[in-house]
Structure 1
């Protein structure tokens, strides 16, 4: 029986895909690299995001890439809203007394703004933010929170989320509400794939 849920943030609970796509194209423009359509971005983007930039802008220092990205994303950060069913699912988790956590690459500064906008303040027991490679953090989260692996579910929208769950030895749920496509997620072999969080309540 699942008693603990580790959530990804972007594309799982909130929709920041339009803003991240726009900011990433700003980075590519600054680096004189062709920009991507939304479909191309979803096909190509990956975590850790440093691997994405290693492929597209290998000669540009990461510090400069980060500066370009944040200069663009800060303009739209406040427009990020909750995904459909996300708040209802968090209410369901509260009613079922699930322990809930966040493991995400999201910048802590952005998380504060987005969580407030989405009405998700105070929904999580612990936050693990700004984690570029989640596989390096999952064992620590399980250990320091005394989570039993067979009672803990990782929910995310990207292959990296599923890979993180595999690395931690816990079941995974891949959502079709975010960055990766059904085909990409199937390749990672999650425990289950759902269209949205509402389907998990049944």
Structure 2
């Protein structure tokens, strides 16, 4: 398939923020009287939209309050977040081939902007879409805003929700195994491709 446009998830696809997010989620649980989750449990159970994840555990706590507690504690770990291996090389690859890159992320604008500037990735991204509550809805806006042809567009992410969003928009999908969801959950979504990391995806796009 000929790919002319790429939509990338942020967390777990371009940057490794899984450990800080896991620890911060356990802090939220502690504040509201829930036991912590192991990293293995978290990877198997965490899902997007994030309200779906919390609704079964803390249904009576407003989402705004959960976000306040989460973001306040998460700030302590922002310095621990780094780009994943192959991330910058993949972005350079897209730039060299004039493939526009769009970021679709649930990350808040402040967090994303600070990380982008620290990593020097800003110049590689055509347009970011941030603080997305539900990517299955936002995908249609991304395609329409940028006049993207679905059959020529690839959505790349590390979670079931990313693959679900790509399918909702009728675009090609690629699951990468560098982030939040286990490979069995991702394969069950039947993406077009499953890659260990962005380096493998780059090789496939070269082929």
TM-score norm. by structure 2 comes to 0.95
> What do the CA deviations read for 1:157-179 (whole angstroms, capped 9, x no partner)?
00000000000000100000000
Q: 1:160-179 residue pairs with structure 2 within 5 A?
A: 160-179=161-180
What are structure 1's unaligned runs of at least 5 residues? Answer: none
2:15 paired residue number: 14
Residue 41 of structure 2 aligns to a residue in which SS? helix
Give the length in aligned residue pairs: 202
Shift of 1:78: 2.9
The answer to whether the aligner puts 1:35 opposite 2:54 as a matched pair is no
Match of 2:147 in 1: 146
1:73 matched residue in structure 2: 74
User: Matches of 2:134 and 2:126 in 1, distance apart?
Assistant: 21
Match of 1:64 in 2: 65
Deviation at 1:79, TM superposition (A): 2.3
Q: 5+ residue gaps in structure 2?
A: none
TM-score by length of 1: 0.98
Q: Which runs of structure 2 are paired with 1:158-197 in the superposition (5 Å)? A: 158-197=159-198
Please say if residues 80 and 117 of structure 1, whose CA atoms lie closer than 8 Å, have aligned partners that are also in contact: no
**Which sits farther off after the overlay, 160-169 or 122-131?**
122-131
Please list the CA deviations of residues 21-41 of structure 1 after superposition, one character each: whole Å capped at 9, or x if unmatched: 011000000010011010010
